[in-house]
Amino acid sequence: MQINELLRKMVERRASDLHLEVPSVPLFRIDGALVGTDEATPLSPEDIEVIFEEITTPKQRDAFQKQLELDFAYSIPGLARFRVNVLRQRGSLGIVFRLVPMKVFTIDELGLPQICKDLSLKPRGLILVTGATGSGKSTTQAAMIDYLNENSSRSIITIEDPIEYLHENKKCIISQREIGDDTLSISTALKHALRHDPDVIVVGEMRDLDTIATAITAAETGHLVLGTLHTVNAAQTIERIIDVFPANQQTQIRLQLSQVIEAILSQVLLPRATGEGRVAAIEILIGTTAIRNLIRESRTHEIPSVMEIGVKDNMQTMANVLVDLVKRNIITREEAMNSASNPEQLAKLLGRLSPAFMV
């Protein structure tokens, strides 16, 4: 089996991921669903070992032997780049390739809310893009970096594991650092980035206390910090950040976070009603005075209500976004209900639509 040929088919079929695992045939993820490839023969442990040897360097294989986990980037010149994860399962290897297009899509091409442009040009503060794995966080973040790169002259440092989208210097100078090759850890790289005269710091994923604490400090000291988290909505994102810290530090962190938060974009990717492609549904929290007060006073349960009436501040709840997508026949009612964190509330909102909109 030629892995590069399989990856070419992945690009041709517009799959987001390729799964290689014993004893399955290779599987593509297309529009969120796993589908079989033309390779009808189930993979053997030897097949995957050969692929692993072909796509990795001796240094990467040594790191995998020590840690039993490996994340890295793999490229086919002229075709695409891939984010690769390798792990062990039932004594054999499992490999997943995530497609990272060569082209960085713009905010307009992705159909992202226009407020993303204004947020990209913020002089300082913390902006978080959140969502489950595969929800398009990295693509949204890359589009915002690209808009900044086109419209402002700043120094940008990205810290990624691994590097996904490649950014060319336009108006900005961009340094992209990869965990493992360019630095040892996200938290260490973030601390040293502050000494490299950055205006903007981009953190691929805010995973631990040290990284989150340093990111908040960087935002406090006049930097714009863009990061991602695996959370499903704005209120949960606030609580996740606070809960990382020991109880005796949480009051102070609430105060610091309330002062630096500029926005939280929480997104999901949903199948289009036509059956072709997916669309991003994005909940938006903006760091208004009211939101900052709720964070500081530990009243995050009231955030959704403030977002409901915050339309003039460009805020939107996921429920209202889903209703709008149904109304415009972009997604089905069933898909909206499946994606709702509060199905009863969404059902009431959908019930107000006329029958013509009930796809």
Over residues 32-54, the pLDDT tens digits come to 899 998 767 899 999 999 999 99
Residues 318, 336: Cα–Cα separation, whole Å: 10
**Could you give the angle at the alpha carbon of 208 between the alpha carbons of 203 and 214, nearest 5°?**
60
pLDDT of residue 353: 65
Average pLDDT, the chain: 93
pTM of the model: 0.89
pLDDT of residue 355: 52
| Contact call for residues 191 and 183 (beta carbons, < 8 A) | no
Distances (CA, A) of 106 to 30, 113, 117, 146, 325: 22, 11, 10, 7, 21
Domain 107-316 is found in CATH 3.40.50.1700: no
Q: Which of the four pLDDT bands, split at 50, 70 and 90, describes residue 230?
A: very high
Mean pLDDT of the 3-22 span: 94
CATH number of 3-100: 3.30.450.90
pLDDT of residue 345: 87
- Specify the amino acid at residue 356: A
Residues shown for the chain = 359
How many CA atoms within 13 Å lie on the side-chain side of 87?
Answer: 6
pLDDT of residue 358: 46
Mean pLDDT of the 114-129 span: 98
Name the percent of the chain lying above pLDDT 90.
Answer: 81
Residue 190's closest CA among 221, 233, 236, 165?
221
**Preceding omega of 162 cis (within 30 degrees of 0):** yes
pLDDT of residue 352: 73
Mean pLDDT of the 274-300 span: 95
Q: Which of the four pLDDT bands, split at 50, 70 and 90, describes residue 359?
A: very low
pLDDT of residue 354: 53
Domain range list for the chain: 3-100, 107-316
Task: Output 352 or 55, whichever has higher pLDDT.
Answer: 55
Q: In angstroms, how far apart are the furthest CA atoms of the chain?
A: 62
* Gyration radius (Cα) of the chain, Å: 21
